[in-house]
Structures are given as structure tokens and as C-alpha cells.
Structure 1
Amino acid sequence: MDLIIEGIAKAIALIVTLDPEVLNITWLSLKVSGCATLISLFLGISFGTMLALADFPGKRLLVSIVNTGMGLPPVVVGLFVTIFLWRNGPLGFLEILYTPGAMILAQAIIATPIVTGITVASIQNLPANLKLQILALGASRGQMVWMLIKEARLPLLAGVMAGFGGVISEVGASIMVGGNIKGYSRVLTTATVMEAGRGNFDVAIALSLILLLLCFAINYLLTRIQQRERPR
């Protein structure tokens, strides 16, 4: 119990004093996970919408693969991204291993199936004849797709929250591809693991609480947007 109290006190002190290292770690966490989420939104919503609207042999199998990917273990993603980015790997020429760029890549791979799966479910949950009604009004196929996405925007916001939550809290892939380098690729999750391993539980608890506050702030903002646009 004393450790928890000390951790809370340490967290308050780090926040109030605007500790430079903690601010840098927090900002990098937000930047890496934010960029990865944006990439996953572009890929996930695009592919998910196409998958939901298309009709082809093997569609159920592909949807099943996407749904399986929603539970993709981050450490597995980290392993394969590390292999691909290794100096002798297929993408070794990029020379981004142990950089924030590699972390963004790994987190985007983790978040994209989550966003894709939720997009497929959101679009398929719309009324079956809505697509035909939109086309009958003279809309082009591109306009029809955009209107369907707008109609599904509330569950898609849940996809944003799920995707962001899945990457901001992961640690395995970030350590493997980022290296947890101080002042360069250290984020809140990797710093927490490191401090706990050193026995600095008060600092680890403080970093954990800051991470929880960050997640709550982002999700609260997205929830406000979602609830404000909810039909009355």
C-alpha cells in the first residue's frame, strides 16, 4: 500500500514540476501512437469499407483473417518487424530499426486489423437497401461510399478509440523495434517496464498513472464527440 501511495505522490510531483524527461516520454508516446492510429485509420477504413461492400469468393475467410488480426499479439508483430528491418532483412535499407519510425510501423500493423474489423462490422450493420437508395438519388459510387462512412461514423469512432487504446498501451513491439533508448525511443510503457525491473516501483507507478491519465483524456475527448453526434 505504501508503494502505491508513494507512486501517486511521485506522479503528482512529476506532473506539477513538469519534469522534462517525463514530458519528453509522454510526448513521444502520444506522437508515436497518434501517427500509428492515423495510418491505421486510413488503411483500416479504406480496406474495411471495400471488404464490407464487395462480394467475392473467399470473403468470409478474409473477414475471419481480419478478425483474427484484431487479437494479434504485439510481441509477434515486433518480432517480424524487427526481422524485416534488420540490416540483412528485406527492409534493412531503410535503416529505421530502433527508431520512433519503426515503432510507428509496428503499432500501425497492430492497430490496422482492429480498425478494419470494426469498419467491416459498422458498414455491414447499416440498412441493406441504403446503398441502393443513395445510388438511386444519382450519387456516384465514390459519393455513395463516403455517405455510408458518414452514416457509420459513430461506431467508427469506437474503432478509433479501440485502435489508439491498443497501441498506446502495448509494450512488446515497442521495446523490440524501438530499443527503449533514453531521450530517443523511450515511451511510457517501455519506461514503466524498465523502472519496475530496476525496483523503482514508485516511478513505475507514477508513469503508469500518467499513461492512464493520457488514455482517459484522449478517450474522453473522442467519447464527447461520439455522444454529441449520437441521434437523439
Structure 2
Amino acid sequence: MSGSGSFEQALNLIFSFDPALMEIIALSLRVSLTAVVIAAVLALPVGAAIALFRFPGRGALVTVLNALMGLPPVVAGLMVYLLLSRAGPLGSLGLLFTPTAMVVAQTLLVFPIVAALSRQVVEDLWEEYREQLQSLGCNRLRAIPTLLWDARFSLITGVLAGFGRASAEVGAVLIVGGNIDGVTRMMTTAIALETSKGNLPLALGLGMVLLLLVAIINAAAYQMGESAKRRLG
């Protein structure tokens, strides 16, 4: 099949809302959004607490957190696989090769990104507003929600960056999800599989949707950044 023919069929699949295509897209969005929400809920207060409190080993913790921002997806997938396999500590739960396992893997990838960014942003804001907050009787613990709210535009940009990484990731979800048709097949894993099978229309359709999704995420992150600059300006 020619490239133009595959492209036309890919467009037809998208605009006809092909059930197989929509099922894969829906699962991908559900897994990635769930992982990002969980990671953000955990990482934002953790990052803020690391920024505001001083304790032994803080420097090492910050270094590890920054290093984990570049955690290879296959390593994250392997860690979750060992955790959820039958011989692992959580093997009895039977979560391996399920969407839940993929959520865990993507949460592990997104958490350090959001935590490291929130630590840096909150630490900078604390240095700027510390005297003012302390004069109002606001200690470090009580300052956490105030500073997180004040930095919301910058932090949302970080969360969007985490979602971008989660939605475009293939290694970890392939290891823990298994790419099972109708169960754990996501856009990235489906693109790799369908390309190897020669099913270019479906692969191209998924690729176009994924590119559109990444473009929307980047546009949203840019607008958030501009809003933060205008606010500070």
C-alpha cells in the first residue's frame, strides 16, 4: 500500500471514530491521566516539604530526585514488574498485565518530574516571601499550601510535562502491561505492533492522534508559562 493510501485510510479511521482506534486512545488517556493525577497529588506536597524543611540527608535526597527525572522507562517498568510479579511482594494482588500496573509504572516516571519542579519553585518562592509569611505567623508547614497555590501556573506546566512523558512512553507499559489487545494496548505500544505487522493505516492514525495530543500539551504548557510571566511581571 502506498504512503498516500495509508494516510487517507488513517484519516478515515480517525474521522469515522473507528472502534478499535477509539478503544486504544481511551485506554491511553485513562491510564496516563490517572497516573499524572496520582503523581501530582503525591509529588506536590513532597516537593514543597523538601523545599521548606532542613533535615539530614536532604542534599542527597534532592540529588536522587533530580536524577530520577531521567529515569529510563524500561528501568521503571522492570522495577514495577519485579514488584507485581508472582515472586514479588505484591504478586498476590494479580495486578501484572493490567491497566493498574501501567498506571503504577507511569506514576513512577511522572512523580520525580513533578516533585523536583515543585521543590525548586517552592524553594525560590520561600526565599522571596519568607519574612512576609513569618511576620503573619505562618510557619513552614502552614506555608506549603500558600506557596503551592501561588506557584500554581508554574506547577501546572510541570504536571503537563509529566503527562507528556507518560502519554508518549512505551517501554514501561510494554513490560508491565504486555500489550494485550482490548486490555492493555495503548497508543505507543499499538503503533510499534501495527507497524511491525504492516498495518500502516492504524499505526498512522494512532501516530497522528498522539502528535496532536503532544502538540496540545505543549501549547497548554506554553500558555501557562506565559500566564506566569505576565503575573510576575
Say whether the fold is shared (TM-score over 0.5).
yes
> Which residue matches 2:170?
171
1:210 shift after superposition: 0.9
Q: Identity of aligned pairs, percent?
A: 40
> Which residue matches 2:219?
220
Matched residue SS, 1:96: coil
CA contact (8 A) 1:45 1:115 kept: yes
Matched residue SS, 2:125: coil
Separation of aligned partners in 2, 1:154 and 1:161: 11
CA contact (8 A) 2:52 2:126 kept: no
> Which residue matches 1:59?
58
> Which residue matches 1:160?
159
1:213 shift after superposition: 1.1
> Which residue matches 2:44?
45
> Which residue matches 1:210?
209
CA contact (8 A) 2:102 2:177 kept: yes
> Which residue matches 1:193?
192
> Which residue matches 2:16?
17
Question: CA, structure 1 residues 183+80, in 2 after alignment: closer, same or farther (shift >3 Å)?
Answer: same
CA contact (8 A) 2:52 2:140 kept: no
Matched residue SS, 1:88: coil
CA contact (8 A) 1:97 1:177 kept: yes
Partner amino acid, structure 1, of 2:19: P
1:6 shift after superposition: 3.9
> Which residue matches 2:96?
97
Superimposed CA distance per residue, residues 40-93 of structure 1 (whole angstroms, 9 cap, x where no aligned partner): 101111111011111123222111100110000010111111111111211101
Which deviates more, 154-163 or 91-100? 154-163
> Which residue matches 1:82?
81
Partner amino acid, structure 2, of 1:146: P
Separation of aligned partners in 2, 1:82 and 1:127: 39
Which deviates more, 212-221 or 47-56? 212-221
Superimposed CA distance per residue, residues 142-165 of structure 1 (whole angstroms, 9 cap, x where no aligned partner): 542111112222221121111101
Partner amino acid, structure 1, of 2:164: G
In the superposition, the TM-score normalised over structure 2's length comes to: 0.91
1:218 shift after superposition: 4.1
Matched residue SS, 2:153: helix
Separation of aligned partners in 2, 1:7 and 1:221: 30
> Which residue matches 1:34?
33
CA contact (8 A) 1:188 1:211 kept: yes
In the superposition, the TM-score normalised over structure 1's length comes to: 0.91
Structure 2: gaps spanning 5 or more residues: none
Separation of aligned partners in 2, 1:141 and 1:54: 7
1:214 shift after superposition: 2.1
Matched residue SS, 1:18: coil
> Which residue matches 2:115?
116
CA contact (8 A) 2:24 2:187 kept: yes
Q: Kindly report the root-mean-square deviation, in angstroms, between the aligned alpha carbons of the 2 structures.
A: 1.9
Separation of aligned partners in 2, 1:129 and 1:33: 35
